[in-house]
């Protein structure tokens, strides 16, 4: 016989790992059920993507928040223009056309969204005063300084950001006529885009793909072989069962990880081109997308170990996996509303979503103020509703510390969870009698 | 001093060193029970070298014994040792063992070559080594020409041979075959029997199970008989046969004129009874099967009888078992 070359025990381990991993991947490829599960996952998540594409391409209708685009006296001059020249917007015989030199009427659209948003998601909240009076109606020269500084912070025509240390959030207080008619469409597009990225990332990728793919693909990794009797072919060789367990999982990851990466990058590209941006592509979002892909990979790794262990434990392991999946779904919802809840520490999804949250905090550092600015509109319109949607999907990482620290902590804990489930699954498998 | 350039292939680290003094297979007072039902009870035996046939009806405990040996089941009582190591706790001795399970399900989507080479790598072989090894063992079992066909397209006999090839990877010292002949056509049967005999000649320890005495007879003389989980007999088939010759036996002859044949047969010393199950058949009771078989041809030919079949309905596993379990013992 040929002389094998297991010069070190590690090299022999590599060979076994590669053999079973390759075998498992090929086995997946030959099963129709694999393609059905992957296909259904792709279709489901693509439907959400289509909704996003539809919303973004339809666009958002702007609202004239301060009503100065209207022309109540019917003289052809919008209120904003009449205000600017000091004529009476309610009297047709008083309009800028009668001044010398005569002023041509401006289109009403000039007075919609004429005062843009000044709190940007990529800026910082370090300065307590921000804002700029884009249309100049606060800085009118005939106004007194006290009229220009209605928030009383000593700076005229600004927005004051006051940190409330008791409530742990920000108060936004702007001077009158500063940002009084913000750009709804721009805010809504930005907020909707970010809410979509976070929403599809958390619910679509981490929860739906990250959990349901392992549910259908990993539960039978060991169990099906035991039922069929084909496990004897593998276990008749000098290999420990815990090793078989691990390498089968590696084979499973070899199928689902490339799938996640491919779909994640595809979605990052689509949303990057479609999303609102100054340049042709939203490069800043890539960080969040990479975190979403990574979190999905980690979740599928931990769930794979767990579901495979449950399948090994009991012939109907999927029955045990379903209540767990329901628990994780609940935890996913909890993490959106209360990311600091202690109960989340006893879930997998809580930690996986923390990776996404951490990336969002790093990439969009001013998100809290951005959301707050929209929510203080109190008009229950476009800004308010998109801001609420964004607020639902965005949460600060619950462990405190910086985004990077949270991401590292969450990753380490997920790895530990996966390792624990591996040991448990391996121990269960070791104790199983195989008929 | 010159460095040792020829280090390649001379591994010093070996995870497990076989106990060379230990027998290949050792069972000591082994029982396996499922609740109150004993699949095996108090089996003690040691096997080393040669081909051993394990005989038993379906459900006698043959597969249970093999799975205990392969560490797939945990004994309820007693000690199982494979090359001196407990196979339930340590998979290392499988490096020296090949196992052909009874299960019919295989990976139908693989070719036999892929099947054998993939699992050969679990012995620590590299991909290239595993390919060569697969070529070797598939050639040994006579599947070389169809090695690259999908197992799903194989006949029953070819599938069994693919399983045997899988077991022969890494040239094991002990090969355990669970019902390798079941469901095979006569040609495949012969091929597989030749393979098993060849392995025996090569000095391997082979354990092969069957529920058909004639199959085992063609392979080996050393047999183990299991019945209802108990070890009934362990030894040479001829010794068992000789004992069998002394117990009551029946010979059934289908003849044109059964009554006329009866007259010629009744005079033989060893015949102690005759009956007619129906018009065409004659049934002879005897204690000495061998003597009757020696005299019968002459009696038939000399008296011009036309006969169609001669059958020993008792000369099978069931009758041996019946005799052994009725307190005869060996």
Domain boundaries, chain A: 10-60+185-430, 79-111, 122-178
Kindly state the DSSP code that residue B150 receives in the 8-state scheme. B
| C-beta separation of A176 from A150 below 8 A | yes
Q: What's the confidence (pLDDT) of residue B13?
A: 42
**Alpha carbon separation from B253 to A136, B278, B326 (Å, rounded):** 122, 11, 27
Cα-to-chain-centroid distance, residue B145: 27
Q: Are B56 and B226 in contact (CB under 8 A)?
A: yes
B109 phi and psi angles, rounded to 5 deg = -85, -5
The stretch B193-209 carries a mean pLDDT of: 93
Q: Give the pLDDT score at B209.
A: 94
pLDDT value of residue A103: 81
Of A335, A323, A100, A86, whose CA–CA distance to A206 is shortest? A335
Q: Sort out which chain B residues have CB atoms less than 8 A from A20's CB and list them.
A: 122
Tell me how crowded residue A124 is: count the other CB atoms within 10 A of its CB.
10
Burial classification of residue A237, based on how many CB atoms lie within 10 Å of its CB (0-12 exposed, 13-18 middle, 19 or more buried): buried
Reading chain A (435 residues) residue by residue, the pLDDT tens digits are 445 555 566 677 788 999 999 999 999 999 999 999 999 999 999 998 998 888 888 877 777 777 778 888 888 888 888 877 878 888 888 888 887 788 888 888 777 777 766 666 655 555 566 666 766 677 777 777 777 777 777 777 777 777 666 766 667 777 777 766 777 788 888 889 999 999 999 999 999 999 999 999 999 999 999 999 999 999 999 999 999 999 999 999 999 999 999 999 999 999 999 888 878 888 889 999 999 999 999 999 999 999 999 999 998 888 988 899 999 999 998 988 888 888 888 999 999 999 999 999 999 888 888 888 777 665 667 788 888 888 888 888 877 778 899 999 999 999 999 999 999 999 999 999 988
User: Cβ separation of A235 and B106 shorter than 8 Å?
Assistant: no
pLDDT for the residue B18: 57
The SS3 call for residue B147 is coil
B201 or B21, which is more confident? B201
Look at B97 and A236 and tell me if their CB atoms are within 8 Å. yes
Per-residue confidence (pLDDT) for residue A10, from 0 to 100: 66
Q: Tokens standing for B93?
A: 């001795």
Identify which of A26, A230, A237 has the shortest CB distance to residue B123.
Answer: A237
What pLDDT, on a 0 to 100 scale, did the predictor assign at position A129? Answer: 67
Residues of A with CB under 8 A from a CB of B: 1-9, 11-12, 15-16, 18-20, 22-23, 26-27, 30, 228-230, 232-241, 433-435
**B185/B189 Cα distance (integer angstroms):** 6
Residue-level pLDDT at B287: 77
- Residues with Cβ within 8 Å of B128's Cβ and at least 6 positions away in sequence, in order, are none
Residue A9 to chain B, least CA–CA distance (Å): 7
Residues of chain B positioned with their CB less than 8 A from the CB of A237: 91, 94-95, 119, 122-123
Buried b (16+ CB within 10 A) or exposed e, B64-92: bbbbbbbbbbbbeebebbbbebebbeebb
Q: How do strand B174-177 and strand B205-210 relate by DSSP bridges?
A: parallel
In this predicted structure, what is the pLDDT of residue A125? Answer: 56
Q: How many CB pairs under 8 A join A and B?
A: 128
A434–B166 C-beta distance less than 8 A = no
Partner residues linked to B207 by β-bridges: B52, B176
Is the pLDDT reported for residue B328 higher than 60? no
With beta carbons under 8 A apart, name residues in chain A contacting B70.
Answer: 232, 235-236
| Dihedral pair phi/psi, residue B99, rounded to 5° | -130, 130
Averaged pLDDT score across all residues of chain B: 84
Interchain contact, B122 vs A435, CB within 8 Å: no
pLDDT computed for residue B330 by the predictor? 43
- Residue B24: what are its φ and ψ, rounded to 5°? -60, -45
Q: How many residues does chain B have?
A: 330
State how far the Cα of A242 lies from the Cα of A227, in Å rounded to an integer.
18
pLDDT digits (tens, 9 = 90+) for B222-243: 999 998 888 888 888 777 767 6
Chain segment B314-327, per-residue pLDDT in tens: 556 676 777 777 65
The tokens for B152 are: 């799903």
Say if the Cβ atoms of A5 and B129 lie within 8 Å: yes
Report H helices in A237-316: 241-274, 286-313
In this predicted complex, what is the ipTM? Answer: 0.80
Query: What are residue B53's DSSP bridge partners?
Result: B208, B223
User: What pLDDT score was predicted for residue B329?
Assistant: 44
Residue A128 pLDDT: 64
Q: What is the per-residue pLDDT for A119?
A: 64
Task: Pick the more confident residue, B277 or A138.
Answer: B277
pLDDT score for A99: 79
Is the CB of A229 less than 8 angstroms away from the CB of B101?
Answer: yes
Output the pTM of the full model.
0.83
Q: Where are the alpha helices (DSSP H) in chain B?
A: 62-69, 112-120, 127-140, 156-168, 186-201, 213-219, 237-245, 258-265, 289-302, 317-325
Query: Average pLDDT in the B91-109 region?
Result: 92
* Complete DSSP assignment for A373-424: HHHTT-S-SHHHHHHHHHHHH----TT-S-HHHHHHHHHHHHHHHHHHHHHH
Q: Are B179 and B104 in contact (CB under 8 A)?
A: no
Residues, chain A: 435
């Amino acid at each position: 016989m040929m002389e094998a070359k297991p010069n070190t025990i590690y090299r022999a381990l590599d060979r076994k790992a590669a053999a079973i991993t390759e075998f498992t991947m090929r086995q997946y490829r030959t099963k129709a059920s694999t393609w059905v599960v992957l296909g259904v996952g792709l279709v489901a998540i693509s439907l959400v993507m289509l909704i996003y594409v539809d919303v973004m391409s339809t666009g958002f209708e702007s609202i004239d928040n301060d009503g100065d685009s209207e022309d109540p006296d019917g003289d052809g001059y919008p209120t904003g223009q009449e205000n600017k020249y000091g004529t009476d917007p309610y009297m047709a015989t008083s309009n800028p056309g009668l001044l010398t030199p005569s002023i041509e009427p401006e289109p009403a659209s000039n007075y919609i969204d004429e005062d843009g948003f000044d709190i940007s998601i990529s800026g910082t909240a370090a300065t307590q005063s921000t804002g700029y009076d884009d249309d100049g109606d606060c800085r009118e020269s005939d106004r007194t300084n006290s009229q220009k500084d209605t928030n009383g912070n000593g700076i005229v025509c600004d927005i004051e950001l006051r940190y409330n240390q008791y409530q742990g959030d920000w108060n936004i207080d702007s001077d009158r006529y500063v940002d009084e008619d913000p750009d709804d469409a721009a805010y809504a597009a930005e907020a909707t885009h970010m809410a979509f990225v976070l929403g599809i990332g958390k619910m679509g990728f981490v929860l739906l793909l990250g959990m349901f793919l392992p549910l259908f693909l990993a539960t039978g990794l060991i169990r099906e072989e035991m039922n069929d009797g084909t496990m004897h072919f593998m276990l008749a060789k000098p290999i420990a069962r815990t090793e078989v367990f691990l390498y089968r999982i590696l084979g499973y990851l070899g199928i689902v990880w490339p799938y996640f990466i491919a779909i994640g990058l595809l979605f990052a590209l689509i949303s990057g081109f479609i999303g609102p941006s100054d340049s042709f592509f939203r490069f800043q979002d890539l960080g969040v997308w990479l975190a979403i892909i990574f979190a999905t990979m980690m979740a599928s790794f931990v769930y794979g170990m767990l579901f495979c262990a449950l399948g090994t434990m009991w012939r109907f392991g999927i029955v045990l996996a379903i209540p767990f999946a329901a628990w994780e779904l609940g935890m996913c919802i909890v993490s959106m509303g209360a990311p600091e809840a202690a109960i989340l520490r006893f879930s997998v999804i809580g930690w996986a979503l923390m990776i996404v949250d951490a990336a969002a905090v790093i990439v969009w550092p001013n998100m809290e103020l951005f959301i707050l600015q929209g929510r203080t509109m109190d008009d229950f319109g476009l800004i308010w509703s998109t801001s609420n949607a964004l607020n639902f999907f965005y949460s600060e990482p619950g462990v405190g510390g910086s985004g990077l620290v949270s991401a590292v902590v969450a990753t380490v804990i997920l790895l530990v969870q996966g390792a624990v489930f591996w040991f448990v699954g391996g121990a269960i498998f070791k104790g199983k009698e195989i008929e | 001093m010159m460095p040792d350039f020829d280090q390649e292939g001379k591994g010093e680290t070996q995870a497990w060193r076989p106990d060379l003094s230990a027998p290949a297979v050792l069972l000591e007072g082994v029982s396996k029970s499922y609740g109150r039902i004993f699949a095996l009870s108090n089996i003690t035996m040691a096997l080393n070298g040669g081909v051993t046939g394990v005989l038993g009806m379906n459900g006698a405990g043959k597969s249970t014994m093999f799975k205990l040996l392969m560490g797939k089941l945990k004994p309820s009582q007693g000690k199982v040792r494979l090359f001196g190591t407990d196979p339930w706790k340590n998979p290392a001795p499988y490096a020296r063992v090949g196992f052909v399970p009874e299960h019919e399900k295989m990976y139908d989507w693989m070719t036999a070559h892929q099947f054998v080479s993939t699992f050969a790598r679990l012995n620590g072989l590299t991909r290239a080594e595993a390919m060569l090894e697969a070529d070797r063992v598939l050639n040994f079992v006579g599947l070389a020409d169809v090695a690259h066909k999908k197992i799903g397209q194989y006949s029953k006999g070819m599938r069994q041979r693919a399983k045997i090839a899988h077991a022969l990877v890494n040239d094991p010292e002990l090969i355990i075959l669970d019902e390798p002949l079941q469901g095979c056509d006569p040609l495949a049967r012969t091929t597989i029997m030749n393979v098993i005999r060849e392995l025996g000649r090569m000095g391997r320890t082979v354990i092969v199970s069957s529920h058909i005495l004639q199959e085992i007879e063609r392979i080996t003389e050393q047999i183990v008989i299991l019945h209802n989980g108990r070890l009934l007999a362990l030894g040479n088939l001829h010794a068992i046969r000789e004992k069998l010759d002394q117990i009551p036996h029946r010979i059934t002859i289908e003849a044109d004129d059964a009554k006329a044949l009866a007259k010629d047969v009744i005079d033989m010393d060893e015949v102690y009874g005759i009956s007619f199950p129906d018009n065409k058949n004659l049934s002879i009771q005897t204690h000495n099967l061998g003597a009757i078989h020696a005299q019968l041809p002459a009696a038939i030919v000399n008296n011009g009888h036309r006969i169609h079949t001669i059958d020993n309905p008792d000369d099978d596993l069931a009758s041996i078992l019946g005799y052994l379990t009725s307190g005869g013992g060996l």
